[in-house]
A and B are shown apart, each in its own frame.
Chain A
Amino acid sequence: MIKTENYIIDILQLHEYGMAIGQSLDYKESCDLFIKLLLKRKHLNAAWILEKKENVYQSTYSIPLGDKIAIDVAQVNGITQNLIESKIFYDDHSIASVSPIKLDGGATAIFDLKGEGFLFLYSKKNNISEKDLSQLRPVINKFSVNLKACKAFNEQQKLLHSLEVQNQELSDYAHMVSHDLKSPLRSIDTLTTWLQEDYASKLDSAGKKQITSIRNSVEKMDTLISGILEYSTIGKTKITSYPVDVNVLLKDIISLIQVPAHISIEIEDLPIVQGDKYRLQQLFQNLLSNALAYNDKKEGKIQVGVKDLGAFWEFFVKDNGKGISDHYFKKIFKVFEKLENNDTSTGIGLSIVKKIVEMYQGQIWLESEETKGTTFYFTLKK
């Protein structure tokens, strides 16, 4: 009866140890939760983890806090070479030499943490037995997996932080450059305007033409800088979402842009989507402007439609324009990539479109055949 009860207690104790593992993805906190529990319940005095880093073993965790140690690999290998998962050492001086804590005789159990180093459990009063080893092995294996997860999480966090910093730096840089570039542009524009007005009688037609060219270039440069600013802003501020009627939105866009008489735009019945009106307008307006700009047909035709995919809306903007070689399918969504040297194109419109779509957790892609036309598809999360 007592034996059965002891078995039950052992199993329940394992349950407690097992439940203490995996509650955190922070390395030290994970070690604290599990190892301090072991120390309390098993009445142990100390514990530490040695892990190989470069050419030495270092202590990555220690309770009590010990000295920082760097131990020769050969020295640790000498202790762990015949270790099959775990082993107990009694009053062994070699253990004291690999401990960050001062030991005084006693027993030390070593567990192989399967690539995460070695865990040492120390009892001053020798109260560690072979039974403890076999009882603890499965939970310590689980603990090794937890440590691995902690490290992966830590790496991911570092990476994310580094990306956030870089992103912020890029954004700040874009703002700074844009601001600094716009200022001399405004001066050039003002000066050329004055030149055009004040010296109108003195300039011949070639001179006037050149000044107009300068002003056109200035305007293009201004549009490009605004595009860069716009691009760097998307996704940086909190996304606001509210119902937007895409039918109304497209009517507004068409009234804003100049649609040549030879191009017709056919719009299906479109849904009400959740999003920010300004961003959605940028998205559709950029696609429509592209479809208009690259249409070389006598009877240009643009169609806008939608398909309900359940969790997403799939929109398309189809034209019968020049078409795009499949070589450029991915390239065109990159900043400053443009297919032809067009005075009005900045090469940033489709990058903005892609960023807006991704902001709404959607995807964008295209189908195209040269000389026949292009269809842009994109999804928006409902």
Chain B
Amino acid sequence: MLITTTDTNEIIDAISAHVKDNAVLISIGEHTDIDLMDFVNQLKESGLQFMGGMFPKVIHGNSVLEKGIVINTLNNLENLFLVENISSTNYTIPAIHFEEDQEYSLFTYVDGLTSNISNYLSKLYEHYGMQTNYFGGGAGSLTLEQMPCVFCNEGLFQDAAVVGVMKMASRIGVRHGWTKVGGPFIVTKAEGNVIKEINWKNPFDVYKEVVEEHSGLTFTDENFFNIAKGYPFGILKEDAECVVRDPLMVTENGELVCVGELEDNMLVDILNGDKESLVLAARQATQESIDSAVAPRKAIIIDCISRILFLEENFDLELNAITQTIKEKFPDVSIGGALTLGEISSYGEGFLEFYNKTVVVGLFE
């Protein structure tokens, strides 16, 4: 459900009417004309159980909106909790009792601009393992300025994650559609989200050589992101699509600042894509989730904001590919979601990872 009013009382009334006694997942476009802190405080007083995040844009049906609130009912919620101090790695993940022969889905929104998100996901998997499906994304502003962006009944937070665990079956498809144009390279030195060395050389020199040759373009002082948004890195995985890391800027020393963390000795390719490959990947991810779904009630799309920055007006093609593929098989399913700063899922139920430039489609029964 999409809410466009900016009157917080009306918003809360609309949410209550929609979710009734259930909990609610709230995704807010960052330019929505409400005071987020006031809104969260009013939600706390309303008696609703809620979790949510603020995103650069939200998705409702075939529309992408900078302003607006998309809500999803969280049926059969078992547990809703907050994890603070993600960057410090000093937190505990609560124990949850998972019943045998019962399918679970875990939904998480994390501050997408905090550090050590990989460690947070690793801890989630360490505690809950194969007993649940995982789905979620990175919240925050497109200005890339870190701010309070995830919320739940405990308040509005930055450097935190909110988690909801539901007794609910889900089918998840994950794809990106970027393909290799250079590599493999070894990230010989990395610190957090900064690549400091590739193949024991200046990383920008290595990157520039491959990208300029492939694109026919030349990097200048001003155009790094305009070219780099089409040439992400891919961390190699066996028998699966690589995990994408998005280069955001180059420092004076030629170090590459990415969205998402990298580690020493990682093997990476340099990737490229076009509108066809990206749209195809979105369709495949949707198909993947549809193939195993039986009677989904809702679809949630977590799509990377950098895909819209790359595809620009062609992003409609990607969103249409997703919504049409869903509607063809499940015409009554509601579709909502967000354009995020990083995506969360487990490829085929494997170890949990933080992705960039990727689309994750979840169908919830």
Contact of A8 with B128 in the complex, beta carbons under 8 Å = no
Selected interface stretch from A10-18, A155-163, A188-196: A10-18
Selected interface stretch from B10-18, B201-209, B260-268: B260-268
In the complex, which residue of chain A has the Cβ closest to the Cβ of B264? A19
Question: Residue-by-residue, is B106-149 near A (CB-CB < 8 Å gives 1, otherwise 0)?
Answer: 00000000000000001001111111000000000000000000
A49 surroundings in chain B (CB, below 8 A): none
A297 surroundings in chain B (CB, below 8 A): none
Contact of B264 with A41 in the complex, beta carbons under 8 Å = no
If the complex has contacts A15-B186, A15-B265, A63-B126, are A41 and B348 also in contact, measured as CB distance less than 8 A? no
If the complex has contacts A41-B237, A46-B129, are A19 and B265 also in contact, measured as CB distance less than 8 A? yes
Contact of A46 with B130 in the complex, beta carbons under 8 Å = yes
If the complex has contacts A41-B238, A101-B129, are A125 and B186 also in contact, measured as CB distance less than 8 A? no
| B316 on the A face (CB < 8 A) | no
Tell me how far the C-beta of A4 lies from the nearest C-beta in chain B, rounded to whole angstroms: 12
In the complex, which residue of chain B has the Cβ closest to the Cβ of A17? B265
If the complex has contacts A8-B184, A45-B351, are A65 and B237 also in contact, measured as CB distance less than 8 A? no
Contact of A43 with B236 in the complex, beta carbons under 8 Å = no
Contact of A64 with B125 in the complex, beta carbons under 8 Å = yes
Contact of B347 among A43, A63, A102 (CB under 8 A): A43
In the complex, which residue of chain A has the Cβ closest to the Cβ of B243? A40
Contact of B351 with A36 in the complex, beta carbons under 8 Å = yes
| B96 on the A face (CB < 8 A) | no
| B353 on the A face (CB < 8 A) | yes
Contact of A45 with B350 in the complex, beta carbons under 8 Å = yes
In the complex, which residue of chain A has the Cβ closest to the Cβ of B352? A40
| A228 on the B face (CB < 8 A) | no
- In whole angstroms, how far apart are the Cα atoms of A63 and B351 in the complex? 10
Contact of B238 with A20 in the complex, beta carbons under 8 Å = no
Contact of B240 with A12 in the complex, beta carbons under 8 Å = no
In the complex, which residue of chain A has the Cβ closest to the Cβ of B348? A125
Contact of A101 with B267 in the complex, beta carbons under 8 Å = no
Contact of A16 with B267 in the complex, beta carbons under 8 Å = yes
Most chain B CB neighbours (cut-off 10 Å) among A8, A43, A46, A101: A43
Contact of B130 with A13 in the complex, beta carbons under 8 Å = no
Contact of B237 among A40, A46, A64, A104 (CB under 8 A): A40
In the complex, which residue of chain B has the Cβ closest to the Cβ of A103? B130
Contact of B126 with A65 in the complex, beta carbons under 8 Å = yes
Contact of B130 with A41 in the complex, beta carbons under 8 Å = no
Contact of B348 with A13 in the complex, beta carbons under 8 Å = no
In the complex, which residue of chain B has the Cβ closest to the Cβ of A10? B238
Tell me how far the C-beta of A262 lies from the nearest C-beta in chain B, rounded to whole angstroms: 72
Q: B residues 161-192 with Cβ under 8 Å of A?
A: 184, 186
If the complex has contacts A40-B237, A43-B348, are A20 and B129 also in contact, measured as CB distance less than 8 A? no
Tell me how far the C-beta of A200 lies from the nearest C-beta in chain B, rounded to whole angstroms: 74
| B103 on the A face (CB < 8 A) | no
Question: Residue-by-residue, is A46-87 near B (CB-CB < 8 Å gives 1, otherwise 0)?
Answer: 100000000000000001111000000000000000000000
| A107 on the B face (CB < 8 A) | no
Contact of A40 with B130 in the complex, beta carbons under 8 Å = no
Contact of B129 with A43 in the complex, beta carbons under 8 Å = no
Question: Is the contact region of chain B dominated by helix, strand, or loop, or is it mixed?
Answer: mixed
Contact of A13 with B236 in the complex, beta carbons under 8 Å = yes
A43 surroundings in chain B (CB, below 8 A): 237-240, 347-348, 350-351
- In whole angstroms, how far apart are the Cα atoms of A15 and B351 in the complex? 21
- In whole angstroms, how far apart are the Cα atoms of A209 and B335 in the complex? 108
| A124 on the B face (CB < 8 A) | yes
A19 surroundings in chain B (CB, below 8 A): 264-265
Question: Residue-by-residue, is B227-239 near A (CB-CB < 8 Å gives 1, otherwise 0)?
Answer: 0000000001111
- In whole angstroms, how far apart are the Cα atoms of A19 and B188 in the complex? 11
- In whole angstroms, how far apart are the Cα atoms of A127 and B126 in the complex? 21
A12 surroundings in chain B (CB, below 8 A): 184, 186, 267
A20 surroundings in chain B (CB, below 8 A): 265
B236 surroundings in chain A (CB, below 8 A): 9, 13, 41
Contact of A40 with B353 in the complex, beta carbons under 8 Å = yes
- In whole angstroms, how far apart are the Cα atoms of A15 and B264 in the complex? 11
Contact of B125 with A9 in the complex, beta carbons under 8 Å = no
Tell me how far the C-beta of A34 lies from the nearest C-beta in chain B, rounded to whole angstroms: 12
B154 surroundings in chain A (CB, below 8 A): none
Tell me how far the C-beta of A381 lies from the nearest C-beta in chain B, rounded to whole angstroms: 37
| B349 on the A face (CB < 8 A) | yes
- In whole angstroms, how far apart are the Cα atoms of A207 and B290 in the complex? 111
Contact of A65 with B349 in the complex, beta carbons under 8 Å = no
If the complex has contacts A16-B265, A20-B265, are A45 and B184 also in contact, measured as CB distance less than 8 A? no
Contact of B130 with A9 in the complex, beta carbons under 8 Å = no
Contact of A64 with B350 in the complex, beta carbons under 8 Å = no
| A291 on the B face (CB < 8 A) | no
Contact of A65 with B239 in the complex, beta carbons under 8 Å = no
Question: Residue-by-residue, is A84-119 near B (CB-CB < 8 Å gives 1, otherwise 0)?
Answer: 000000000000000001101000000000000000
Contact of B128 among A16, A64, A102 (CB under 8 A): A64
A36 surroundings in chain B (CB, below 8 A): 122, 351
B348 surroundings in chain A (CB, below 8 A): 43, 125
Contact of B349 among A9, A16, A41, A124 (CB under 8 A): A124
In the complex, which residue of chain B has the Cβ closest to the Cβ of A63? B126
Q: B residues 194-240 with Cβ under 8 Å of A?
A: 236-240
Contact of A9 among B100, B122, B129, B267 (CB under 8 A): B267
- In whole angstroms, how far apart are the Cα atoms of A46 and B266 in the complex? 21
Q: A40-B351, A64-B129 are in contact. List 19 more A-B contacts (CB 8 A).
A: A12-B186, A13-B238, A15-B265, A16-B265, A16-B266, A32-B122, A39-B351, A40-B237, A41-B236, A43-B239, A44-B350, A45-B130, A46-B130, A63-B125, A63-B126, A64-B126, A66-B129, A102-B100, A102-B130
Task: List 12 contacting pairs A-B, 8 Å CB cutoff, sorted by A.
Answer: A12-B186, A16-B186, A19-B265, A40-B351, A41-B238, A43-B238, A43-B347, A43-B351, A46-B130, A102-B100, A124-B350, A127-B239
Q: Which residues from chain B sit less than 8 Å from chain A, CB to CB?
A: 100, 122, 125-131, 184, 186, 236-240, 264-267, 347-351, 353
